[in-house]
Structure 1
């Protein structure tokens, strides 16, 4: 929403995680889990239209939530357990500039989710279900303060809850995706140099995925909110070329985690570059390394340690 004039962009991301641990085997002895997290890709697109000097609208497509966990190694107690979730989101936003410094933005957000779940016999009965697409709508509202003379911008955005119900081949799944708050900040600290910072807080405390089939029950449950922080430096080397370095941090909750999400907190390091062509096309790319925090799982007390992921991203934007 803060791009000048009319703007369109496409983005692509690829993530390769390595998440493994040790836990009880089918015969009782400690057994490696193998890598339980699968590689995945993400795509996104956005179009912004400047209606008047002070009024603009935008439509944004993304894939906000996802999971792909598979315990495939034979001999492990949960071998055969798997879960996959895919989602798509559409956000329609409007922005109104109030004066030289202040603006407000807001709109509606639509999310559609589908997935699969399989659990072999453990201390719980075996269960399997394929969930058809379910969708819901929420709202987005926020505001920003800017000082263009020092390249300062402070933007705050609130996204409301979204209720979802997914019909399943066995039981049906219901959940409420939680509200979230985003704070994004930048300011010039030297010629052609920006300080960048952000905070994202999601009210995951109390979140659960509940299947109405008594053999399945609650598939996932979280007991703590999550805040993710990042800070970095952006540098313009020329009118065409710029780069950035960013460090991210998400605190560990120090509590047992779901066997379908066996990590606890993370630290990340990212480097990115952007090049603007003479025709107005801007090509951005970057790489991020994520160091996951160690975790112990709820169901079988497996220990996951020394895990990580590498993500690659590419974005092509055009301002006209």
Structure 2
């Protein structure tokens, strides 16, 4: 029963990390380490956000249109035992990602602006099981990251006329993961604490400025994807019933993507955040029979009430998720759906604040994960 019930925690992965704090997408879970024997899994999620705002100072009352296109996420993981005490896992995911595309022809001050940030990570972990249910684990993470953007801010009456593009080519960096866990199988209890280090990148960057004056520049843009800490737990609370959840802290206040020409012209960052982000999750799972289990989760991120850039206009969230897990033989299939209410925010452009208000936005994520033990 313990092994069957613990699969309900897969909901968080199966339904994706739709609009978690800042660029966070997967939560960097290490749950695959706790699968029994040799195990492999593949996951897919599609996320459909609805994100729009209304111009304030720069384009009074004009709507931006939906600026956040649908996107997909893929992941895979493999875990195997070396002996009674040692095991290892390999995890492939897309930990940080963003895509913004302002429709043209709306009259909105940022119409035609777009941006993409993409990362892919390959993590190798080794776990050592001590006595009395305690285990320690750690490893290395190889991560690639690239970004591009086109910024078109047009509000001549207020002296804002910016036509700029940037391409930061893919770069690779290495970080590390360390953690500790405690398990008590007879009550399906597990508590794990995981630290993910920051990863430094140095991206070869090409920038082009058309307005207010023509300039081009090639340089190296240095930034770090943030360090984070995950506290995850699960425990049986009644026969065939599992309570699970976690807290994730991400050091977003130290993140800033600042190409040199953009900083020179605007005195700001292309994308940055003023506060760290805490994400809270609580869920309940129930085994219905030998084939089916179900689960429900609630998620919460506090609203920070800060000004945000126009490439990342969301502040906090509340979410609810549902999942069903089908198990047959050595295979289990988890399907999940998650609804996210995206927090309202105010954006800034240059000296103009508020540039726009983003309110009443949401997202829906649907995911599938297939796992096989052999």
TM-score normalised according to structure 2 size: 0.82
2:226 to 178, 189, 195: 178
Query: Does structure 1 residue 227 correspond to structure 2 residue 227?
Result: no
2:340 to 284, 290, 315: 290
| Other structure's SS at 1:138 match | strand
Q: Would the aligned equivalents of 1:25 and 1:31 in 2 still touch at CA under 8 Å?
A: no
The structure showing larger relative contact order (alpha-carbon pairs under 8 Å, at least 6 residues apart) is 2
TM-superposed CA distance for 1:49, in Å, is 1.3
TM-score normalised according to structure 1 size: 0.96
Residue 157 of structure 1 corresponds to which residue in structure 2? 194
Query: Does structure 1 residue 277 correspond to structure 2 residue 328?
Result: yes
Partner Cα distance (1:66, 1:124) in 2: 28
Deviations 1:55-77 (A, max 9, x none): 10111000111111011142110
Residue 53 of structure 1 corresponds to which residue in structure 2? 84
Partner Cα distance (1:136, 1:314) in 2: 29
Residue 134 of structure 2 corresponds to which residue in structure 1? 102
Residue 301 of structure 2 corresponds to which residue in structure 1? 250
Partner Cα distance (1:158, 1:131) in 2: 28
Moved beyond 6 Å, runs of 4+? none
Residue 204 of structure 1 corresponds to which residue in structure 2? 252
Query: Does structure 1 residue 307 correspond to structure 2 residue 307?
Result: no
Residue 93 of structure 2 corresponds to which residue in structure 1? 62
Give the gaps of 5 or more residues in structure 1.
Answer: none
Q: Would the aligned equivalents of 1:44 and 1:62 in 2 still touch at CA under 8 Å?
A: yes
Residue 33 of structure 1 corresponds to which residue in structure 2? 64
Compute the RMSD of aligned alpha carbons.
1.5
Partner Cα distance (1:4, 1:128) in 2: 49
Q: Would the aligned equivalents of 1:96 and 1:103 in 2 still touch at CA under 8 Å?
A: yes
TM-superposed CA distance for 1:221, in Å, is 1.8
- Structure 1 residues 129 and 189, CA, compared in 2 at 3 Å: closer, same or farther? same
Residue 44 of structure 2 corresponds to which residue in structure 1? 12
| Other structure's SS at 1:80 match | coil
Residue 55 of structure 2 corresponds to which residue in structure 1? 23
Q: Would the aligned equivalents of 1:24 and 1:77 in 2 still touch at CA under 8 Å?
A: no
Partner Cα distance (1:224, 1:29) in 2: 28
| Other structure's SS at 2:270 match | strand
Q: Would the aligned equivalents of 2:141 and 2:177 in 1 still touch at CA under 8 Å?
A: yes
Partner Cα distance (2:147, 2:254) in 1: 21
Q: Would the aligned equivalents of 2:271 and 2:312 in 1 still touch at CA under 8 Å?
A: no
Give the gaps of 5 or more residues in structure 2.
Answer: 1-32, 155-159, 208-217
TM-superposed CA distance for 1:100, in Å, is 3.0
